[in-house]
Amino acid sequence: MQTFLDGERTSRYLASETKKEILLCAATEITDRYYELASDLVSVSRKTESSLQKIRLSAQRRAGASSDIADNNVSDTDKMCMQLFLDIQEYARNLFALGVEAVNIASYRSLWQCVAPADKQNTIKL
């Protein structure tokens, strides 16, 4: 995107406001798709994790093992969300370098809420 914006023809034929508009539209479309993919991934992962947990509990009951044993491990979904959280922070920094504030994109805010740890969901800080 930066290459396009810095190109000779772009500089010559497009007004500054037009370039900003193109950049914002592109960033919004990309962020919308990013959110769709990430939210689908997290949703499927949570459903799979839930199903596996039910299977484990059922197997424990059949084997006569105690089913109240707490699983204190960090789930794969939580690990995936943390990586996505780190990724979207870097993505926002890259957008900022181009002149776009990710926090002003609705799908970025939704993406943040989807993957941010519980204690950071309501405040977007980069």
Is 68 among the domain residues? no
Per the structure, the complete domain to which residue 33 belongs is given by: 2-39+74-120
Is 59 among the domain residues? no
Is 67 among the domain residues? no
Closest CA to 39 of 109, 98, 101, 123: 109
Is 108 among the domain residues? yes
Is 29 among the domain residues? yes
Is 7 among the domain residues? yes
* Cα four-point dihedral sign 99, 37, 121, 90: negative
The predicted model scores a pTM of 0.83
Is 104 among the domain residues? yes
Is 47 among the domain residues? no
pLDDT per residue rounded down to tens, the chain (126 residues): 878 878 888 878 888 899 899 999 999 999 999 999 999 999 999 999 999 989 988 888 888 766 555 566 888 999 999 999 999 999 999 999 999 999 999 999 999 999 999 999 888 888
Q: What is the 3-state secondary structure (H, E, C) of the chain?
A: CHHHHHCHHHHHHCCHHHHHHHHHHHHHHHHHHHHHHHHHHHHHHHHHHHHHHHHHHHHHHHHCCCCCCCCCCCCHHHHHHHHHHHHHHHHHHHHHHHCCCHHHCHHHHHHHHHHCCHHHCCCCCC
> Number of structural domains, the chain?
1
